């Protein structure tokens, strides 16, 4: 069962091959989806300072009935934090909000502040300062692993060429019709696990007729096809749902997409319109 399988990060930490995304989940809903996901067998939960649900994530994990060391929790340093002092303070604030002795993985949410995401400035110095704070928290045992998100090759090189510890993870937008193969290959060459957020294209893939036809060949849903696609590329998908049945079906992906169909999916035309989600910078890029 895929929920019991893991990837090994470069430092030997095991990370479950599928995680549950929690973007837009707050308050009691956030607590409830963690409870449901753990009951469904998930052991990997993805949060962020920007999601404003860290307190609920920590509470839910402590009350899950599952041993702390069996649940892998990720949070993200806010994209706007580009100084060492701010990063140190923010890391400690996340630990305090979650009420946990350690966080399994903490990553820089974006190489650029969200309001500047589509601009050319790369914030190289600010990312090095934030990374230094993550390195120190990692060495102090506050974080079991550290990584980045939305980083392109030049952003990754900036960290790799100037820091002691390579990122262990790069979490990026990756799905059928939008798969950044060059970034993925660079990460693999540098022993960086690639996590795929929005593996179902923020829902944009679900009504595509050709994908429905292909999914029917395997007797699965389009969502299952999309998640399996990521797994066969060696990625770690982070599907997001609040529905318990969909949580279970999203993890029921123990089938194999043929080489021919994988080539078709890899070469599918890029999605140009994500609907309402297009207003978010990661989808507008």
Give 213-261 pLDDT, tens digit per residue. Answer: 999 999 999 999 999 999 999 999 999 888 899 999 999 999 999 999 9
Contacts of 45 (CB under 8 A, 6+ apart): 19, 20, 22, 34, 37, 57, 61, 71, 72, 73, 74
Rounded CA separation 46/222 (Å): 22
Q: Confidence class of residue 23 from pLDDT cuts 50, 70 and 90? A: confident
**Structural tokens at position 119:** 């601009």
User: In which element (H, E) is residue 216 found?
Assistant: helix 209-217
Q: Is 284's pLDDT higher than 70?
A: no
On whether the CB atoms of residues 250 and 158 are closer than 8 A, the answer is no
User: Which residues participate in catalysis according to the annotation?
Assistant: 51
Rounded CA separation 271/266 (Å): 12
On whether the CB atoms of residues 270 and 178 are closer than 8 A, the answer is yes
How far out from the chain centre does Cα 224 lie?
A: 17
pLDDT (0 to 100) of residue 285:
64
- Of 199, 187, 195, 183, nearest in space to 246 by CA: 199
Instruction: Supply the mean pLDDT for the chain.
Output: 94
> What topology does CATH give the domain 13-284?
TIM Barrel (3.20.20)
Rounded CA separation 173/168 (Å): 17
Q: Per-residue pLDDT tens for 57-89? A: 999 999 899 999 999 999 999 999 999 999 999
* SS3 per residue for 93-134: HHHHHHCCCCECEEEECCCCCHHHCCCCCCCHHHHHHHHHHH
Rg from Cα positions in the chain: 18
pLDDT (0 to 100) of residue 50:
92
Q: Is 122's pLDDT higher than 90?
A: yes
Q: Per-residue pLDDT tens for 126-158? A: 999 999 999 999 999 999 999 999 999 999 999
**What pTM did the predictor assign?**
0.95
- Of 10, 2, 48, 5, nearest in space to 193 by CA: 10
Q: Is 280's pLDDT higher than 80?
A: no
**Structural tokens at position 43:** 């052991």
By CB atoms closer than 10 A (0-12, 13-18, 19+), residue 12 is exposed
Contacts of 261 (CB under 8 A, 6+ apart): 214, 217
- Give the percent of the chain with pLDDT over 90: 85
How far out from the chain centre does Cα 112 lie?
A: 17
**What letter does residue 142 receive in the DSSP assignment?**
S
- Is the model more confident about 170 or about 203? 170
On whether the CB atoms of residues 40 and 251 are closer than 8 A, the answer is yes
How far out from the chain centre does Cα 191 lie?
A: 16
């Amino acid at each position: 069962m895929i929920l019991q399988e893991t990837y090994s990060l470069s430092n030997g930490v095991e990370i479950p091959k599928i995680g549950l995304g929690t973007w837009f989940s707050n308050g009691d809903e956030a607590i409830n989806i963690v409870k449901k996901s753990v009951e469904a067998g998930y052991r990997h939960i993805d949060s962020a300072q920007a999601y404003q649900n860290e307190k609920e994530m920590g509470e839910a994990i402590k009350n899950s009935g599952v041993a702390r060391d069996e649940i892998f929790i990720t949070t993200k340093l806010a994209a706007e934090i580009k100084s060492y002092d701010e990063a140190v303070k923010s890391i400690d604030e996340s630990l305090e909000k979650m009420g946990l002795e350690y966080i399994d993985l903490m990553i820089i949410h974006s190489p650029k502040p969200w309001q500047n995401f589509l601009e050319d400035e790369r914030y190289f110095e600010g990312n090095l300062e934030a990374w230094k704070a993550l390195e120190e928290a990692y060495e102090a045992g506050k974080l079991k692993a550290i990584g980045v998100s939305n980083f392109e090759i030049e952003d990754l090189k900036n960290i790799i060429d100037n820091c002691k510890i390579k990122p262990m993870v790069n979490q990026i937008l990756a799905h059928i019709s939008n798969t950044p193969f060059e970034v993925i290959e660079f990460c693999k060459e540098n022993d960086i696990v690639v996590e795929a957020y929005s593996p179902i294209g923020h829902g944009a893939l679900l009504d595509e007729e050709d994908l429905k036809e292909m999914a029917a060949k395997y007797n699965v849903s389009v969502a299952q096809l999309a998640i399996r696609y990521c797994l066969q590329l060696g990625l770690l998908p982070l599907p997001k749902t609040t529905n318990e049945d969909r949580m279970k079906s999203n993890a029921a992906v123990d089938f194999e997409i043929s080489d021919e169909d994988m080539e078709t999916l890899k070469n599918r035309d890029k999605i140009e319109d994500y609907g309402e989600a297009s207003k978010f910078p990661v989808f507008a890029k």
